[in-house]
Amino acid sequence: MHRHGYKGRKFGRERDQRRALIKGLATSLVEHGKIETTLPKAKELVRYIEKLVTKAKKGDLANRRMVIAGLSTQAAAFRLVDVIAPQLKGRTSGHVRVQRTRLRVGDGAQMAIIEFVDEIKDVPAEKEAK
């Protein structure tokens, strides 16, 4: 069987499990600003989180609801829209970076750190302007 036209990685999981995994990783990244996971998961998370950040930067009601649907918790969605997205306004893309770190001891999997490119301050942008 050929791989032409098949986008995304399977991770040995069914569709619902895969979606929950990516959603959970994205939520953790928004909450903590930096997470460590395996390299393939990090690369797949880049595709997912870039689209969410772009929607969060627009910030209207429809896009805000899409961000809420794309993350596990409303608190993480509000943090992405109200705190993180305004600090990334200067960029059109490339909001996150993936950096290889080590080989995991148990199975030798390549680990990677995924983080936002710009340093994220915890103060909402609206309060900074006042």
Q: Mean pLDDT, consecutive 10-residue segments, the chain of 130 residues? A: 89 97 98 97 98 96 97 97 95 96 97 95 67
Q: Is residue 10 part of a domain?
A: no
Q: Range of 83's domain?
A: 15-123
Report if residue 111 sits inside a domain: yes
- The CATH code of the domain that includes 21 is 3.90.1030.10
Structurally, the chain folds into a number of domains equal to 1
Looking at residue 114, what DSSP letter applies? E
Show the tokens assigned to 74: 């409303």
Euclidean distance between CA atoms 30 and 23, whole angstroms: 11
- What's the pTM? 0.91
Q: In angstroms, how far is CA 73 from the centroid of its own chain?
A: 13
User: Is 101 contained in some domain?
Assistant: yes
In DSSP terms, 99 is beta-bridged to 113
CA distance 52 to 99: 20
